[in-house]
Chains A and B, each alone.
Chain A
Amino acid sequence: MTQQPVALNRTDKPAAVASATKMVIRGVSVYYKTFRAIKNVDLPVYENRITAFIGPSGCGKSTLLRTLNRMNDLIPGARVEGKVLLDGEDIYAAGQDVVDIRRRVGMVFQRPNPFPMSVYDNVAFGLRLLGIRQKSILDEVVERSLRAAALWEHVCDNLNQSGMALSGGQQQRLCIARAIAVEPEVILMDEPTSALDPIATLTIEDLLQTLKENFTIVIVTHNMQQAARISDYTAFLSMDDDRAGYLVEFGPTVELFTNPKEKLTEDYITGRFG
């Protein structure tokens, strides 16, 4: 396998490089029935940048991520307060089309979850759901998505093979191809490499660097080194005495990992937490 060199076009001075704000989390609290899982988080998500959420287990990283495409709506008893703006519009406002929001803000999960169908059908799934049936369009989008997910070379000879037959890393790239096939603007990733071996992990990490040229990416990772390696911005969340997650510090990744402003951040990233 030949590995294409990937330019890590991380913004070394993110503050100085203009980037539009794609999403804004404003005063967001999340409740599961009476339990407050997240309190009062304010956070920007910059366009064509990778934003990482880090923090100890149970601090609400995944919960916060799922507020960005209303995935929490699917959990009985879950309630979101505050606003989540996508291009300035509150996705929780009355009358919003949740299906459209989830098309614009896609998601990739922790464990690769290809559907039990062919590689082709996996990638075409979302398009067909949107009513696209024309074979030439489907062919084109399937190829483009698989190429973008760095998987085309491996599967182009046999697009009819089952998605389940691929290796773990390839399955996760298939899921990424499936997510980008519907041309989302933002991709949410919930620990996308935690079930993968180190080489497959690095392949996905390289892939994210090319994907961010066209997409805005938000990633939850419990691997701090991964956040340091790949993200432009990092948000560190922690848990308060009442077990509610809150934002401790947000900033350019290079600054957060070399010179954090908050002592709690320093203690966490240097492994002296608690």
Chain B
Amino acid sequence: MPRQVLESEIQNLKNQILRLGDMVRQAMLDAIEALKHRATNRARQIIAADQAINALRFDIEKAALVVIATQQPLAHDLRFLASVLDIAGELERMGDYAKGIAKINILMGDKPLLKPLIDLPRMANITADMLQAALQAFVNDDAETAAAIPRRDDEVDGLYNQIYRELITFMIQDPKTIDQANYLLWAAHNVERMADRVTNICERTIFTASGEIVELDTDENGNAR
């Protein structure tokens, strides 16, 4: 088969992107789990592990640039590599959000949670599923699946709004909870931002597969949010 080197480099990059995605997904789920149990030691481990995510992101970037420089990719190959550079960056930022949740955990000190966390882990689970599906669609060059995934972002947004209202109620009822409620609101916000970045990954998949640049994050009137 012609272009064996290019084909094998592309496969390597796909594997690396999946690996980076797994690391980010796990970091987020762990950060939420640690928050749920107020496990600050675990939170410190998550913060330290972010370095490995950043390092893999740069490894992927470097590898993609080497392929561009040495293999003269064009058309679909070139779009794939441009998307790899972009997605590696998205994943690294998602890793930062997970690290942010771990930091919030530490900042909360020894104060207990206002109430047991239920909706936030749910948000995190949906986001983790979306991320996994989005990266699978990317490596499978599956634009159709990629186009459907962002619809689940509405569930994430719904849960976020619910958490927001609930925490605001806490704060109004008892201003002494403002500190604690604010921390949780930031944690929820981080998860919500991660789900938005999954949508960006899906847009890249459609671009790679079809060459079309589409905006998937739209409101009911089709306008970009």
Residues of B within 8 A of A272 (CB): 1-3
CB pair A258–B211 under 8 Å, yes or no, is yes
On whether A258 and B3 interact (CB within 8 A), knowing A228-B74, A269-B74, A270-B73, the answer reads: no
Indicate whether A4 reaches chain B with its CB closer than 8 angstroms. no
CB A30 to nearest CB in B, in angstroms, measures: 29
* Residue B50 CB within 8 A of the other chain: no
Docked-complex contact A269 and B6, CB < 8 angstroms: no
The yes or no answer to B79 lying at the interface (CB within 8 A) is yes
Q: Which residues of B contact A273 (CB under 8 A)?
A: 2
- How many Å lie between the Cα of A256 and that of B56 in the bound state? 33
Interface band, chain A? 10 to 19
A266 lies within 8 A of B76 (CB): yes
A258, B2: Cα distance in complex, Å: 20
A225 interfacial by beta-carbon distance below 8 Å: yes
- How distant is B225 from chain A, measured CB to nearest CB, in Å? 26
In the complex, are the beta carbons of B75 and A271 less than 8 A apart? no
Interface residue ranges of A240-269 to B (CB < 8 Å): 257-260, 265-266, 269
Residues in B neighbouring A258, C-beta threshold 8 A: 74-75, 78-79, 211
B77 interface residue (CB < 8 Å to A) = yes
Closest B residue to A269 by beta carbon equals B74
* Complex CA distance for A224 and B79, rounded to whole angstroms: 17
A185-226 residues at the B interface, CB under 8 angstroms: 224-225
Question: B72 contacts the other chain (Cβ, under 8 Å)?
Answer: yes
Q: Are B72 and A225 in contact (CB under 8 A)?
A: yes
Q: Is the CB of B2 within 8 A of A266?
A: no
| Contacting residues, chain B, for A257 (C-beta < 8 A) | 74-75, 78
**Interface readout for A82-112 with B: 1 if CB under 8 Å, 0 if not?**
0000000000000000000000000000000
Q: How far is the CA of A160 from the CA of B1 in the complex (A)?
A: 54
On whether A224 and B2 interact (CB within 8 A), knowing A258-B211, A259-B211, the answer reads no
A224 to B3, alpha carbons, bound, how many Å?
A: 15
Chain B residues whose CB sits within 8 angstroms of the CB of A259 once the complex forms: 75, 79, 211
Q: How would residues 33 to 77 of chain B score, 1 for a CB under 8 Å from any chain A CB and 0 otherwise? A: 000000000000000000000000000000000000000111111
A271 with B211: CB separation less than 8 A: no
* Cβ–Cβ < 8 Å partners of A271 in chain B: 2-3, 6
Give chain B interface residues in 107-151, CB to chain A under 8 Å: none
A259 to B75, CA, bound (A): 5
Interface residues of B in 80-130 (CB under 8 A from A): none
Among the listed A225, A266, A274, which residue makes an inter-chain contact with B75, where contact means beta carbons less than 8 Å apart? A266
- Rounded to whole angstroms, the CA-CA distance of A257 and B77 in the bound complex is 10
Residue numbers in A under 8 Å from B72 (CB-CB)? 224-225
Which residue on chain B has the smallest CB distance to residue A255? B211
Tell me, rounded to whole Å, the shortest Cβ–Cβ distance linking A68 to chain B.
27
Give complex CA distance A272, B3 in Å: 7
Question: Can you add 11 more A-B contacts, CB < 8 Å, to A258-B75, A269-B74?
Answer: A258-B78, A258-B79, A260-B75, A265-B75, A266-B76, A270-B3, A270-B75, A270-B76, A271-B2, A273-B2, A274-B2
Residues of chain A whose beta carbon lies under 8 Å from any beta carbon of chain B: 224-225, 228, 257-260, 265-266, 269-274
A selection of 11 A-B contacts at a CB cut-off of 8 Å is A225-B72, A258-B79, A258-B211, A259-B75, A259-B79, A259-B211, A269-B74, A270-B75, A270-B77, A271-B3, A271-B6
A-B complex: 9 closest residue pairs judged by Cβ atoms: A259-B211, A271-B3, A269-B74, A266-B75, A257-B74, A270-B77, A270-B75, A271-B2, A270-B74
